[in-house]
A and B are shown apart, each in its own frame.
Chain A
């Protein structure tokens, strides 16, 4: 099973709303990632968790707040977003973050398409 699931598939929210994106994997992977992808652009890394600890934060605004409750789950809490935050939010996982200086293969979920009004 190489599946990463994400909910919801689509989300529309106002700038004053609070919402959460969820990601789940049951492959025993210990590294999990959040990416943001705008149309016709590559995925941009936001956060990386390794063994449930935040390993990388790519200077993401505080209106995005990640959480890793356990090794299978990854959440992204959203608050006071801006219209420019509208994008496809992708979750990915890998067995480990890296080994021997090499990044491990990442398996992406289908994404949550977020629209901020």
Chain B
């Protein structure tokens, strides 16, 4: 079946360092969404990318969608302890009514 691969599974950084998580699909995605889940919490929508090569920024977070719409990344500049959590990408393929397929997530820990 269709899968969205996400790496790394875990990442530990010192506060102030940058962080990047990557998602990859073997087939073209229709769109990709990113969610953040804090420890003990529920997934919270961050952003949706639709267009080939799209780049969107939210303060220290930069989201990219690849030109071939098969990969995406989330980059956090100068991490803070509030960035701790698991970041999931979730993609959709070009089929009407297809629901999201989640990557396995990257769990970020930050030490001060």
Contacts and interface: CB of A to CB of B under 8 A. Distances in A.
Contact of A42 (B44, B96, B98, B105): B105
A105 B44 CA distance: 10
**Interface residue tally on A, bucketed by range:** 20 to 34
Contact of A106 (B30, B45, B50, B105): B45
Interface string A3-27: 0000000000000000000000000
B43 A97 contact: no
A22 B94 CA distance: 31
A110 B45 contact: no
A42 B88 contact: yes
A42 B104 contact: yes
B68 interface: no
Nearest to A91: B42
Interface of A: 33, 40-45, 48, 50, 55-56, 88, 90, 97-98, 101-103, 105-111
Which 8 pairs between the two chains have the least Cβ-Cβ distance?
Answer: A42-B102, A103-B92, A102-B31, A108-B42, A101-B30, A108-B43, A101-B94, A111-B42
Interface of B: 30-31, 33, 35, 41-45, 48, 50, 88, 92, 94-100, 102-105, 107
18 contacts: A40-B107, A45-B99, A45-B100, A48-B99, A55-B97, A56-B97, A97-B97, A98-B92, A101-B92, A101-B94, A101-B95, A101-B96, A102-B30, A103-B33, A103-B99, A105-B45, A106-B33, A108-B45
